[in-house]
Structure 1
């Protein structure tokens, strides 16, 4: 089994810039849409991605939404994550690219490994592979999977994926008939693509602390988030006491045009002006959060919000260019 402790040579240009001890970095989740919009112009998304890169955001996050349904709360039509990540790799220069998250249980791990290596190579080592398990039983049925096997599928696929992306790479076939050749995963890269748990995947926090670069979760109200972080730190002390393990949060942000507007909770985040946002982020940094990715959703054009955040918020947490 390949664990996170065996992945210390991961891409420092990506992982250590996004996740660093006693620091907080900021990212953005694509697509960047106005509140209520459900159709993304992906040419515009690439333009916004370049802007985020130029302005110093540390990460762009891309979701994996295989299927849509009228019963789902998210009506947005997302591009295939690997196609979008490939485009982002050649349209940006410095910003980390993170999958948030590839549905590990519904994709073959060797296909994921091949795609991850490809994005990492195209982006020159800027890729972080975030992995989730999916939580919609009808999608499991559509792909011929049993949702009751979610936990075991996640662990088994993680092990196969980690072995394929490790140094040295090992391809673990589903079946190995007599006389079958040994396989390689090419092209190889100098870096080991870091693996990040997004959500729990049905696993214990101890399992996540042993195997993953860190744990990415959704925003919760402050008391609940502090309790969740305390649980995480205890797991890290038990399972990986000598290693750094990151903690990150995905937050909905409705950034008001009024910089003095007080923060008001909304689903999975806040509506707030930038001054209150800075206070929220300072509290999160003090509480142990290493990265926050914003899911922008307001009446403002996304470029306008990006510019304000870059000018007035990023320098308080990311002082270097």
Structure 2
């Protein structure tokens, strides 16, 4: 498969990981944060490179990175800390196979031509591994800092999608180009509706990044997505705390659950049956060491869902 979207959908269902690669939302993680003097919601990312390389070797399909330009204490979450395109460029250089996704770049607060150049640069240097998740943003405090209008973010989003689609050729004077040129078009996945109608999103986006929910939630959402977008990929995320006992039953909470690997397999099977194409696992609530957790999932879970998955 050549394109990132084709690779994401290989085998009909796939499993990835969402950064930050830290379990700082646990009791132990909070104690460590206070001792280190990090801000509330600021993860410990000292092992991020090691863990990203491990996820790549073990066969996880994609590594997703959020875009949060400003730390806002009212949100209490710094996300993954690094600037999103710079960070994915670094990750592209230390990994070889794992897809690299943004979940999601807030288009209206960015300079459109530089966003295009950053995305095409990353696409080229990573070997077409970029999955460009995009959004209109939900943090009003950021917009005046960048000189942008929060109320007009929907219009800005549409304009920037058009620019990303045609490589800015419709707005550039004759003879000017943004290099590098797109190899195969930028794969655009939308988080939420980005202030657009469902019909517009289904027509103009290549996939959707849905908020976490139960299999029943996703069955309804997938049906709505298929109505407007056909077979385009539907991806979502799970906040996971993987218990040591494989048979520990599922205990659901907002955005995810705690349970053993048997519960994880059952949940993933239910999501696949609901029509979900990809699930990114988020580990900030995970009480066990992440390398141990990654190995267990790679050995016992990935082979069930990934055709030819690595072990």
Give yes or no for TM over 0.5. Answer: yes
Matched, 1:308 2:296: yes
Which residue of 19, 22, 44 corresponds with 1:30?
A: 19
Which residue is 2:199 aligned to?
206
Q: CA deviation at 1:236?
A: 2.4
Which residue of 183, 195, 219 corresponds with 1:190?
A: 183
Q: CA deviation at 1:190?
A: 3.1
Q: CA deviation at 1:19?
A: 2.4
Which residue of 223, 228, 236 corresponds with 1:249?
A: 236
What's the TM-score, normalizing by structure 2?
A: 0.89
Matched, 1:133 2:122: no
Structure 1 residue runs of 4 or more that deviate by more than 6 Å after TM superposition: none
Which residue is 2:154 aligned to?
151
Per-residue Cα deviation, 1:266-286 (whole angstroms, up to 9, x for no partner):
221111111011011101111
> Runs of 5+ in structure 2 lacking a partner?
30-40
Task: Describe the shift of the 1:288–1:156 C-alpha distance in structure 2 as closer, same or farther (beyond 3 A).
Answer: same
In structure 2, what is the Cα distance between the partners aligned to 1:111 and 1:267?
Answer: 36
Which residue is 2:9 aligned to?
19
Q: CA deviation at 1:150?
A: 1.7
In structure 1, what is the Cα distance between the partners aligned to 2:180 and 2:139?
Answer: 34
Task: Describe the shift of the 1:137–1:314 C-alpha distance in structure 2 as closer, same or farther (beyond 3 A).
Answer: same
Which residue is 1:236 aligned to?
229
Which residue is 1:225 aligned to?
218
Q: CA deviation at 1:80?
A: 0.3
**SS class of match (2:138):** coil
**SS class of match (1:129):** strand
Q: CA deviation at 1:202?
A: 1.1
Task: Describe the shift of the 1:271–1:213 C-alpha distance in structure 2 as closer, same or farther (beyond 3 A).
Answer: same
| Number of residues of Structure 1 aligned to a counterpart in Structure 2 | 294
Q: CA deviation at 1:162?
A: 1.4
In structure 2, what is the Cα distance between the partners aligned to 1:13 and 1:41?
Answer: 33
Report if aligned partners of 1:163, 1:172 keep a CA contact under 8 Å in 2: no
Report if aligned partners of 1:26, 1:292 keep a CA contact under 8 Å in 2: yes
**SS class of match (2:110):** coil
Which residue is 1:319 aligned to?
307
Which residue is 1:275 aligned to?
262
Which residue is 1:287 aligned to?
274
**SS class of match (2:108):** coil
Report if aligned partners of 2:165, 2:186 keep a CA contact under 8 Å in 1: no
In structure 2, what is the Cα distance between the partners aligned to 1:12 and 1:40?
Answer: 34
What's the TM-score, normalizing by structure 1?
A: 0.86
Matched, 1:89 2:92: yes
Per-residue Cα deviation, 1:29-64 (whole angstroms, up to 9, x for no partner):
111111424444545111111100000000000110
Per-residue Cα deviation, 1:249-302 (whole angstroms, up to 9, x for no partner):
022111111211111112211111110110111011111100000111211111
Report if aligned partners of 1:96, 1:126 keep a CA contact under 8 Å in 2: yes
- Name the Cα RMSD after superposition: 1.8
Per-residue Cα deviation, 1:103-143 (whole angstroms, up to 9, x for no partner):
11111221111001111111111111110111111212222
